[in-house]
Amino acid sequence: MRLVLGMMKHETNTFSPLRTDWARFQDWGAFAGDEARKAFEKTAMPLGAYMKLARERGAEFTIPMAAEAMPSGPVERDAYERMAGAICEEVVKGCDGVLLDLHGAMVTVDHEDGEGELLARIREIAPDVPIAVTLDLHTNLTQRMIDNCTALIGYKTYPHVDMYEVAEQIGRVVLDSMEGKCRPVMAWRSLPLLSQTLKQGTDDEPMKSLIAMACAAEARPGILAASVFGGFPMADIRDAGTSVIVVADGDREKAGAACEEIGQAAWKARETFIYQHEPLEQAVARAKTLTNGPVLLLDHADNTGSGGTQDVMTVIAEVIRQGLEDVAVAAVWDPAAVQDMAKAGIGATVTIRLGGKTDMPSIGLKGEPLEITGKVKILTDGEWVVHGPMYTGVTVRMGPTAVLDTGKVQIVIVSRHHEPWDTGVFRSVGIEPEHKRYLVLKSRIHYRAGFAELGKATITCDGHGVTTSDNSILTFERLRRPIYPLDRMNDDTLLPSTAQQ
């Protein structure tokens, strides 16, 4: 048996001004062949699970591409063709199966559905080859994805700490189908619901109950996999939104019934998928009254893990204005500031214009730096290994990194975008987060992987940025309509319209 394994992952924020060229994938990690094997074999990533399955079956395998970039704007043509081309060229050589780790919300300059385009190309090359696909919980699922794979599955956790397990599950389904042990068929439902990622945490309602329904469905005889996709609402494409998919063993009716049950429950809970705002000044003032730390302050509108520029200073400026003390911030993206601090040297006192280097024309905002004075506390190369439950074993490369200490606030400043989902973002620069009174994190939900157990309280801070949870400042032009909450839809029961493979 010869298998082609591959990874091509990007969550595309079409409102983001950040370029997604090939260099951005190289910054986070782009590997092939033996380098890919070494990079992911001992990690809790889907490729690690796929390699394990291949070895269990005594199969040969190749990894022509394993690439991921931090969320940003549409993927440029050269980057996409490098990744998709490498995978397709390997399939051309001949294989018995393809196991892919994709995201599900990749938009390119040429294709609204980057994953569907890749799968269609593979199908054109090898019409009968079995294909397994692992997708992110924030997938914007499309008919093209369904039509061009054998079976797919999504993560059941946000933050995503089950990537290895779901890849192993769907990989086994497809490998078993190759041996005649099962016959995967799929039913799926796309809901007219643009749910917000800040309300998709799987420890919270309504996702907690919906995921429980998916798990209960999987426990029924004949159901091979069931997934609920919250969708990624920062993509202005036709198919953005919430969806459900069920994979059954040869029984489309059974798959459809389970899919409709979960889909109807998701639709009835639609109002709880929408974030309720609080004035920033009020949120920070409320945090100031809390004495038992660490208190987690989420700068969610500038979450680089959803395509934020990571250099908006609105929340940090308000924290400083209100005089909060013993604060650590992770992280501000400002390569120029890091260079200036490196020139000054550790121990030097500097005054810099921090952040605010990026304009955001999609929401009509200009970058606004914050003039700030502090001591250069530490300088590092920004490399460290994740030991927490999300991306376990993966090497993070934040690029040249510095810590600016104002006396009350310590700010981690990085040269490459990175969302703080692991305490290593602080520990790698000598900050012990558990001993801080406040932690300002440019994150939405992924912070929970590393910080949930540390935080004594969590407050969302409504700052500015292209990952805003305020739909009123976003302009959707391609999105299908009507869709909730952009359009008022009062009927609690959706008409059955489950699509099938």
Lowest mean per-residue pLDDT among 12-21, 243-252, 350-359, 485-494: 485-494
Spatial separation of the C-alpha atoms in residues 180 and 35, rounded to whole Å? 33
- Report CA dihedral (48, 49, 55, 61) to the nearest 10 degrees: -60
Mean pLDDT, rounded, for 208-220: 98
Can you give the pLDDT at residue 342? 98
- 206 close to 266: Cβ distance less than 8 angstroms: yes
- The pLDDT of residue 500 is 59
Cβ within 8 Å of residue 204, ≥6 positions away? none
Q: Where are the beta strands (DSSP E) in 334-426?
A: 349-354, 370-380, 383-385, 395-397, 401-405, 409-414
Tell which residue, 274, 276, 190, 186, has the closest CA to residue 231.
190
Asked if the bond preceding 482 is cis, omega within 30° of 0, the reply is: yes
Closest-CA residue to 460 (of 197, 240, 203)? 197
Distance of alpha carbon 325 from alpha carbon 323, whole angstroms: 6
Give the pLDDT mean for 250-268.
Answer: 97
pLDDT (average), residues 250-270:
97
| Confidence (pLDDT) at 499 | 61
Compute the average pLDDT of residues 19-26.
98
Percent of the chain with pLDDT over 70: 98
Helix (H) or strand (E) holding 47: helix 46-56
Per-residue pLDDT tens over the stretch 463-491: 999 999 999 999 999 999 999 999 988 77
- CATH architecture of the domain 2-273 equals 3-Layer(aba) Sandwich (3.40)
**Cα four-point dihedral sign 51, 54, 59, 65:** negative
Strand, helix or coil at 134?
Answer: strand
Three-state secondary-structure class, residue 284:
helix
- pLDDT on residue 489: 84
pLDDT at position 291, please?
86
Sorting pLDDT into bands at 50, 70 and 90, what band is 35?
Answer: very high
Task: Compute the mean pLDDT over every residue in the chain, rounded to the nearest whole number.
Answer: 97
- Model pLDDT, residue 488: 87
Residue type (1 letter), 157: T
User: Where along the chain do its domains lie?
Assistant: 2-273, 280-468
pLDDT in tens, 114-167: 999 999 999 999 999 999 999 999 999 999 999 999 999 999 999 999 999 999
How far is the C-alpha of 328 from the C-alpha of 299, rounded, in Å?
A: 13
| The pLDDT value given to residue 498 | 57
Q: In the structure, what pLDDT confidence band is assigned to residue 411 with cuts at 50, 70 and 90?
A: very high
Judged against a pLDDT cut of 90, whether residue 496 lies above it is answered with no
> Beta strands 30-31 and 409-414: pairing type?
unpaired
Q: Residue 391: is its pLDDT beyond 60?
A: yes
Between 217 and 291, residue with greater pLDDT: 217
**Cβ partners under 8 Å of residue 118, min gap 6:** 8, 84, 87, 88, 100, 102
Instruction: Tell me if residue 76 falls in helix, strand or coil.
Output: coil
Predicted pLDDT at 429:
98
Cα–Cα distance for residue pair 297/54, rounded to 1 Å: 43
* pLDDT exceeds 60 at position 495: no
> Which stretches of 65-188 are DSSP H helices?
77-92, 114-125, 143-147, 163-178
The contacts of residue 131 (CB under 8 Å, 6+ apart) are 97, 98, 99, 100, 119, 122, 123, 148, 149, 150, 174
Q: What is the pTM of this model?
A: 0.96
What is residue 490's predicted lDDT score, i.e. its pLDDT?
76
pLDDT at residue 175 greater than cutoff 90: yes
